[in-house]
Amino acid sequence: MSKKNLYSLLAVLLVAATVLSACGPKATPAPTSTQVEIFSWWVGGGEAAGLAAMQKVFEAKYPSIKFVNAAVAGGSGTNARAVLATRLSAGDPPDSWQAHAGQEIIGTYVAAHQVAPLDDFFKSTGFGNVLPKTLLPLISQDGHPYSVPVNIHRSNVMWYNPKVLQEAGVTAVPTTWDEFFAACEKIKAAGKTCLALGPQWTAMHLLENVMIGTLGADGWSKLWQPGADWTSADVTKALDNYAKALSYTNSDHASLTDWQPATKLVTDGDAAFNIMGDWADGYLENQPPDGLGLKAHTDFDWAPTPGTKGVFVFLSDSFVLPANAKHPDATNAWLTVAASKEGQEAFNPVKGSICARTDCDPKLFNEYLQSAMKDWSTDTVVGSLTHGVVANDAWKAKIDTALGLFLADPTKVADFQAALAAACKSDGACK
Ligand code: GAL
């Protein structure tokens, strides 16, 4: 090739490279911020370890950004979300915070203009293409995505101690609430607590599961949509079942510090059952100090909560970009890790959840989590109340107030139902 031809070939290649780079995904400039403050409620057994695993991936990828862990203790975010609300109203948001897919994001943070849309992030990373099609609408408003989901959790899991069941003569794991109550009679007669419960948010968690197990997936979903009827006889039946379930719980539940002590009552052999999300799996199976290091099927076992076989009560943790973010480049770096296969594969097997991404390697997950993956793809999926999917904060707060009164006197089913119906009218779907 002559020198002249070589030069023209080089010139053509240079132009082609420039054009190609302009067409490809926009290269994000390297972040210059020196720290990122990540706010969550992942402090306790199992939860902190999951976050630490993702932090490790972040630190390896962005060594110049200091990871500041601003987690506030308290399962389901009860304390953390109060602290967050104060910070948001003072105009002092963390660089990113944990937020549940569904109404917690759309009906709360988006409605209050506290978070920014992530269209550019989704476009440049292609993240939307690896998310379940059902999840995208729950983090989007008017077609704009507002958060990066890191996982899928399941709320309707009944953890149990097979030895306690066996010793009490309970030969079959209950699949309906009536069977559950019959089992409780035997467990009570054997001198054990039937159903381990913790502080008030775990009572709401139990409430959603009893209601779904009584009303069915469809009946539950309708309660969150226009035309909802909270005064029906079916709802009365569900609340009667709930009152009965409460009668089999440990009397000191309100003073338990969080969900872990309630779950531990089961594995210590003091109680038979605990209805808790599958973050409990991280706590039960992780080796100490991150968990109890227990053996599935021997030290504990699991089944869908009564009446919910074939139903997956879902929630998803995600992270957001604040409106008027202080360090958008650092937030972007965190969201990049939270969205990545590497980040999600590090986080979820430890946290006790499955990836929000559809392309994680199942072999990295234990038997329980592999079963959750299967159920997630085949079951009827409904949303959790306690963990932000079906109701925004205003509605949920009204339900929580009604629940607090009911827990103080669980004979008052009619008052409870009336308060729930009023909450739907004032702040919910019955408006
Ligand atoms: C949920 C959250 C889970 C887990 C749980 C218990 O609200 O989505 O990730 O942290 O609370 O704390």
Q: What is the pLDDT of residue 19?
A: 41
Q: Which CATH architecture has domain 154-313+388-427?
A: 3-Layer(aba) Sandwich (3.40)
Query: To test ligand 1's pocket by mutation, which of 154, 279, 313 has the most ligand atoms within 8 angstroms of CB?
Result: 279
Q: Whose CA is nearest to atom 7 of ligand 1?
A: 76
Ligand 1 center from residue 75 Cα (angstroms): 6
Contact indicator for 140, 102 with CB cutoff of 8 Å? no
Q: Whose CA is nearest to atom 2 of ligand 1?
A: 76
Contact indicator for 149, 133 with CB cutoff of 8 Å? no
Q: Does residue 397 come out as left (phi exceeding 0), alpha (psi in the -120 to 50 range) or beta?
A: alpha
Ligand 1 center from residue 319 Cα (angstroms): 13
Q: Whose CA is nearest to atom 4 of ligand 1?
A: 76
Task: Enter the tokens of residue 267.
Answer: 């594995």
Rg of the Cα atoms in the chain: 24
Is the beta carbon of 194 within 6 A of some atom in ligand 1?
no
Is the beta carbon of 306 within 6 A of some atom in ligand 1?
no
Q: What is the pLDDT of residues 272-309, one digit of tens each?
A: 999 999 999 999 999 999 999 999 999 999 999 999 99
Ligand 1 center from residue 204 Cα (angstroms): 13
Find, among 158, 132, 80, the residue nearest to 354 by Cα: 132
- Helices (H) then strands (E): counts for the chain: 16, 15
Residues 6+ apart with CB under 8 A from 271: 161, 164, 192, 193, 194, 195, 196, 250, 265
Q: What do you get for the CA distance between the two ends of the chain, in Å?
A: 78
Q: What is the pLDDT of residue 295?
A: 98
Report the nearest atom of ligand 1 relative to the CA of 387: 7
Contact indicator for 147, 320 with CB cutoff of 8 Å? yes
Is the beta carbon of 317 within 6 A of some atom in ligand 1?
yes
- The residues spanned by each domain of the chain are 29-152+315-383, 154-313+388-427
Q: What is the pLDDT of residues 55-108, one digit of tens each?
A: 999 999 999 999 999 999 999 999 999 999 999 999 999 999 999 999 999 999
Residues 6+ apart with CB under 8 A from 273: 158, 159, 160, 180, 194, 195, 196, 266
Q: What is the pLDDT of residues 322-375, one digit of tens each?
A: 999 999 999 999 999 999 999 999 999 999 999 999 999 999 999 999 999 999
Establish whether domains 29-152+315-383 and 154-313+388-427 are of one fold: yes
Q: What is the pLDDT of residues 117-150, one digit of tens each?
A: 999 999 999 999 999 999 999 999 999 999 999 9
Q: What is the pLDDT of residues 182-203, one digit of tens each?
A: 999 999 999 999 999 999 999 9
29-152+315-383, which class in CATH? alpha beta
Ligand 1 center from residue 292 Cα (angstroms): 18
Report the nearest atom of ligand 1 relative to the CA of 315: 8
Q: What is the pLDDT of residues 7-65, one digit of tens each?
A: 444 444 444 444 444 444 455 678 999 999 999 999 988 899 999 999 999 999 999 99
Contact indicator for 385, 208 with CB cutoff of 8 Å? yes
Contact indicator for 248, 185 with CB cutoff of 8 Å? no
